[in-house]
Amino acid sequence: MKIAIRVLLMMIALIFSSVSYAAEEEEEEEFIAEYVDEFLGGYLGVSTGVNSARSSGQIKSQSEKTVAYLMQAGYLQGGYNMKFDQNVLGVGGFADMHGYERHKNQVGYGNLVLGLNLKLARPVGHWLPYVRLGYGYGYATGDLSEVEGFSRSYGFGTEYKFAGEQWSAVIEYKTSTYSGNATRIYNKSVFTGLNYYFNKPTVVEEIVEEVDYEPLEVFEEAPPDFAPPI
């Protein structure tokens, strides 16, 4: 958890520190602005990945990292991205679905988290590294079906926008927690997936004007006058 928070803070510092460099060089601003437009507008996405869940409090269960966790986590998201001083500010909603798993102490449960999030990002070419903060409501299933409550989540990741396309590939690390009935549930997930953008990116074609160059005239210098010796 501490390592994830440190990485999150480092990414936030990197995003804001890059603003000063963009202000110093106008050419860099124009280059970044060209790619900002690729990530603007509404989008929908779906991802799948690995989740590790545990609980504490009245009912405790340790997380089990096994192959069974593979493909048990699903992630649906949608939102709208806006341009903000060469950065991208996004608002949206999400649904995290974590599959049922029986833990070593024979406690079996899954959980669902629904909520809203805020995304801050800065494009680097066709890449969009970002951090995300969310707030929502979590529900547990199985043996912990009575556990539900407001959830806090954060995450960081990156998108890659395919050139000239409305699709992007996503990879994200995300964690969330909520509590109810004297029991707290923790989720740690790694997702990969695709986002679809409704706005089709504008392809900017570079126009190169042909210039006819006239051949240079070469003037031969006249030989100096030769005076015979006396």
Sequence spans of domains, the chain: 2-197
Q: For residues 117-129, b (16+ Cβ closer than 10 Å) or e, as one string?
A: bebbbbbeeeebb
Gyration radius from the chain CA atoms: 28
Alpha helices in 25-156 (DSSP H): 26-36
pLDDT of residue 214: 63
For 47, the token pair is: 């991802």
For 186, the token pair is: 């923790």
pLDDT of residue 134: 94
pLDDT of residue 37: 81
pLDDT of residue 71: 38
pLDDT of residue 25: 46
Residue 209 phi, psi dihedral angles, 5° rounding: -80, 135
Could you state, in chain order, the average pLDDT of each consecutive group of 10 residues for the chain (230 residues)? Answer: 54 51 47 73 87 91 54 60 86 88 86 91 92 95 94 95 88 94 92 88 56 59 58
Which of 94, 70, 75, 64 minimizes the C-alpha distance to 191?
75
* DSSP state letter for 124: B
Residues 6 or more apart in contact with residue 201 via CB below 8 angstroms: 37, 38, 161, 164, 165, 166
pLDDT of residue 131: 95
Q: How far apart are CA 48 and CA 29, in angstroms?
A: 35
Fold classification of 2-197 is: Porin (2.40.160)
Q: How many other C-beta atoms are found inside a 10 Å radius of the C-beta of residue 135?
A: 13
Q: How far apart are CA 111 and CA 129, in angstroms?
A: 28
pLDDT of residue 66: 36
Q: How far apart are CA 103 and CA 112, in angstroms?
A: 18
pLDDT of residue 20: 46
Q: How many other C-beta atoms are found inside a 10 Å radius of the C-beta of residue 204?
A: 8
Residues 6 or more apart in contact with residue 216 via CB below 8 angstroms: none
0.75 exceeded by pTM: no
